[in-house]
Structure 1
Amino acid sequence: MERPAGLCGLWALLLCAGGGAAPNEILPPVTNLSVSVENLCTIIWTWNSPEGVRPNCSLWYYSYFGNHQDKKITLDSRRLEEVPLNEDICLHVISQCGTNESEKTLKGEKKCISPPEGDPRSAVTDLRCIWFNLTTMKCSWLPGNTTRANTTYLLYYWHKYLTTPLQCENSYREGHRLGCSFNLTDSRLRHSSIQVMVKDNGGKIRPSFSVVALSSHVVPAHPDIIHLSFKNSNLLVEWKKPGDFLCECLSSQLEVNNSHLSSTLYTTEETKCQNPEKRSQFKITTDLDTSTTVRIRVRTNKYCYEDSNLWSEWSEKGSLGQKTNSTFYITILLIIPVLVAFAIIVLLFYLKRLKIIIFPPIPDPGKIFKEMFGDQNDDTLHWRKYDIYDKQTKEETDSVVLIENLKRGSQ
């Protein structure tokens, strides 16, 4: 077979050793290798086939990141990855005839992409996102080392069912951590990922990125205990699973406290629902003569999600047994004295009124007569004095008039 023209030196030895096309031979480098970013963390590398490839070569592309990580062999001259753009990311591409991952002596073409500009110390740290009960995504972080205390942060998120990134509006603070939460109820995302970016509103800090695999960051809500009973010397615990989880997707842990024994933990892996209402049951051998309290928490398991050990909160305690809870006695002892004191006060008040009704006060006769006659005598004397005075005044006036008339007649 005739060797291809235009090749010499090392390339000629690689391509034409043995006088023909060797399988998995390393070809010249790919051309026009470029990189671009879409959405928040979607990085796309594209390239063209190398020059001088023989017609009978089955052209494949071997690509990998630094230290031969995430290796792929594909016919497509394009590679798309969701990668947090927090550091330099470089992709190596090698073209070859065949799919065998033979030992490579050449690095091929390399194209890198750098994170956004800015001081790395200003970017937020410890960015975490948790999908709570398949309904709410909660992302939190710590401020950067060189960030001012009054910095206003913005969080953007994107997943494959969104056309453009959206901004999170529900910001919150938990201790030293800042965060933002948003609704995420699309069931199609259960085995997908979501891209997150946190930056400030003034462009003074370096953006921080994260790609969250939802299958490994799920925390269920706590379950609800709906029934406790003794049956055949066993304690039967029945609870209702949280949210829209399938029974086989959850692992449960029960904490049983017995008055005669220390607290005991029981873990169960559920593979199917035990009844049409999707309730779960568990039997525990315990002493019937003692009081028993039970609480439950759950987590996702390996059957549906990656086991991340993210437990839910504990449920409210359920109790069952012949021994009454000591809290009840304490409450009664505190309430009884209060009720007795209140009853005594009310009784004293009504006894005082009852005494007035049964033994009314005796009136003073002297006061009654004084009121009846004393005022009338005073009024009578007053009018009597007034009449005598008027009579004397008239008589004296008449006498004066008579004397004057007599004097005038004598003259």
Structure 2
Amino acid sequence: MELPARLCGLWVLLLCFADGGDAAPTETQPPVTNLSVSVENLCTVIWTWNPPEGASPNCSLWYFSHFGNKQDKKIAPETHRSKEVPLNERVCLQVGSQCSTNESDNPSTLVEKCISPPEGDPESAVTELQCIWHNLSYMNCTWLPGRNTRPDTNYTLYYWHSSLGKILQCEDIYTAGQHIGCSFALNKLKDSSFDQHSVQVMVKDNAGKIRPSFNIVPLTSHVQPDPPHIKNLFFQHGDLYILGKNPQNFYSRCLSYEVEFNNSQTETHYILSVSFFDFISHIFLFAFHFLGKKANPTFYITMLLIIPVIVAGAIIVLLLYLKRLKIIIFPPIPDPGKIFKEMFGDQNDDTLHWKKYDIYEKQTKEETDSIVLIENLKRASQ
């Protein structure tokens, strides 16, 4: 049976659409090439790589990367990634490529590149390295010597932040007890949004015999303002008023105040509530209302010792009182059998006992009188 030419053409067209309806599977992209790692400044680690070889020309390449612990995942078209890392431990980055932003869409195999910690005995590195930004004017860093370190070790501290053109060395090394420290000037950074910045710090010795120790100091989490200057202190209507001046480089809206009031005569500590009234430039005025007081800790200790004794005494008195009350309310009922036994049985026994005693006493008396009589007769005959 021959089909009309027009119908045959329509049939061929439908077959063409059917063949092209299924999308071709997405090809798995090859891995990235020439992945390398380097360190800038003190703790800025930079990874760079090249696009994969033999990638599909119709593919818009994206790169996904994360660190060895599978944290800080990132998908971006750039062929580099950087991170501030304290280089005290091994740090690895894994990078892969794909044709979309969906990580599960046939990604390439991962390529890894690591940076090792500095050489040297880990027990020789300094410990408890921490820094505080004092009043937005200078930073003070302190640390403890490592376990395997000579007492005469000379330490050097290096620091860097985004406003510096190069790494600087801290010159003001000092010793305070077991701690060693160094202070360096650090004013507000050029960028007003300094909350996004940090300071990179490294401590090592001059001779290069100890393992370097690194620290990343976020500026916003390690700031300590100077105490305010109190200009006047007075009472009015039962309230305590404090007039003072804010520390430099800070405004009142950036600070929270803590006030402690101790009475040396009564040895009490008062908890005060703060009320902000007004400020002009760096001048502030606060009023504190007494909400309550906290007794001397000795009072609580004494009460803890006395209360158990009082409770124990009360329990003993209560038990004695209940026993006596029971006797009064429920007196013991006498036993009739015992009464009759005492009247007859016990009494006969006592009577017989006394009779035996009288006979024995009588015989003894008669014998004694006879002996006395014989003795008297003998004396008379002589």
TM-score by length of 1: 0.60
CA deviations 1:336-361 (Å, max 9, x no partner) are: xxxxxxxxxxxxxxxxxxxxxxxxxx
Unpaired runs of 5+ in structure 2? Answer: 1-21, 292-382
1:152 corresponds to 2:154: yes
The answer for the alignment partner of 2:173 in structure 1 is: 171
Question: Aligned partner of 2:47: which letter?
Answer: W
Task: Report the Cα offset of residue 55 of structure 1.
Answer: 2.9
Q: 2:255 aligns with which of 243, 250, 253?
A: 250
Which residue identity lines up with residue 217 of structure 1 in the other structure? H
Pair 266,225 (structure 1): closer, same or farther in 2 beyond 3 Å: same
Inter-CA distance 260–123: structure 2 relative to 1 (3 Å threshold): closer
**2:219 matched to which residue of 1?**
214
**CA offsets per residue over residues 124-147 of structure 1, 9 Å max, x none?**
111111111111111111111111
1:106 shift after superposition: 6.7
Checking the alignment, whether the CA contact within 8 Å between 1:132 and 1:219 is kept in structure 2 is yes
Counterpart selection for 2:139 from 137, 146, 153: 137
Matched, 1:80 2:104: no
In the alignment, is the contact (CA less than 8 A) between 1:26 and 1:95 conserved in 2?
A: no
* 1: CA distance, partners of 2:47 / 2:85: 12
CA distance in 1, matches of 2:241, 2:153: 53
Q: 1-side partners of 2:176 and 2:105: how far apart?
A: 52
Which residue pairs with 1:378 in the alignment?
none
Partner of 2:24: 20
Q: Distance in 2 between matches of 1:102 and 1:57?
A: 16
Aligned pair count?
266
SS in 2 for 1:27: coil
Q: Is the 8 A contact 1:253 1:267 kept in 2?
A: no
Match for residue 268 of structure 2?
262
Matches within 5 A, 1:195-214: 195-214=200-219
Secondary structure of the residue that 2:69 maps to in structure 1?
helix
CA gap of 1:102–1:188, structure 2 versus 1, over 3 A, is farther
Q: Distance in 1 between matches of 2:170 and 2:205?
A: 13
1:90–1:205 Cα change, 3 Å: same
Deviation by residue 1:92-141 (Cα, 9 ceiling, x = unmatched): 11112222344888760000011221111111111111111111111111
Partners of 1:215 and 1:266 lie apart in 2 by 28
| Corresponding residue number in structure 1 for 2:281 | 277
Residue 98 in 1 paired to residue 105 in 2? no
Matched residue type, 1:215: T
Q: Is 1:35 aligned with 2:41?
A: no
Kept after mapping to 2: 8 A contact 1:156/1:198: yes
Shift of 1:262: 2.5
Any idea what SS the aligned residue of 2:94 has?
Answer: strand
3-state SS of the aligned residue for 1:248?
Answer: helix
The aligned amino acid for 1:80 is S
Counterpart Cα distance in 1 of 2:38 and 2:281: 50
How many Å apart are 1:261 and its aligned residue? Answer: 8.0
- In structure 1, distance between residues paired with 2:243 and 2:230: 6
Whole-angstrom CA distance in 1 between matches of 2:275 and 2:211: 44
Distance 1:286 1:92, change over 3 A: closer
Q: How does 1:7-406 map to 2 (within 5 A)?
A: 19-20=23-24, 22=26, 27-102=29-104, 108-188=110-190, 190-191=194-195, 192-258=197-263, 262-266=268-272, 274-286=278-290
Deviation string, structure 1 residues 229-248 (Cα, Å, up to 9, x no partner):
33344222222211201222
How far does residue 275 in structure 1 lie from its aligned partner after superposition?
2.3
Q: Compared with structure 1, are the counterparts of its residues 246 and 98 closer, same or farther at alpha carbon in structure 2 (3 Å cutoff)?
A: farther
- AA of the residue aligned to 1:148: R
Q: Mark the CA change 1:136 to 1:39 in structure 2 (over 3 Å): closer, same or farther.
A: same
Aligned-partner SS, 2:136 = coil
| Structure 1 position 188, deviation (Å) | 3.3
The answer to whether the 8 Å contact 2:35/2:113 transfers is yes
> Contact 2:33/2:49 (CA < 8 Å) preserved in 1?
yes
**Is the alpha carbon distance of 1:77 and 1:106 closer, same or farther for their aligned partners in structure 2, counting shifts above 3 Å?**
closer
1:60 deviates by 1.4
Give the gaps of 5 or more residues in structure 1: 1-17, 288-411
What code does the residue aligned with 2:163 have? Y
Q: Tell me, what secondary structure is at the counterpart of 2:253?
A: helix
For residues 4-31 of structure 1, the C-alpha deviation after alignment (integer angstroms, 9 at most, x for no partner) is xxxxxxxxxxxxxx74364xx7632111
Report the Cα distance in structure 1 between the residues aligned to 2:78 and 2:274, rounded to whole angstroms.
46
Of 255-264 and 214-223, the range deviating more from structure 2: 255-264
Secondary structure of 1:117's counterpart equals coil
- Preserved contact between residue 253 and residue 265 of structure 1 (Cα < 8 Å): no
Instruction: Indicate the SS of the match to 1:70.
Output: coil
Distance 1:187 1:32, change over 3 A: closer
The letter of the residue matching 2:285 is Q
Partner SS state of residue 260, structure 2: strand
Per the normalisation by structure 2, the TM-score is 0.64
DSSP 3-state at the match of 1:253: coil
**Once the two structures are aligned, what percentage of the paired residues are identical?**
53
Q: Does the 8 A contact of 1:252 with 1:269 survive in 2?
A: no
Query: 2:219 is aligned with what amino acid?
Result: L
The structure-2 alpha-carbon separation of the partners of 1:21 and 1:55, relative to structure 1 and needing over 3 Å to count, comes to farther
Deviations 1:305-333 (A, max 9, x none): xxxxxxxxxxxxxxxxxxxxxxxxxxxxx
1:252–1:267 contact (8 Å) kept in structure 2: no
Structure 2 letter corresponding to 1:279: I
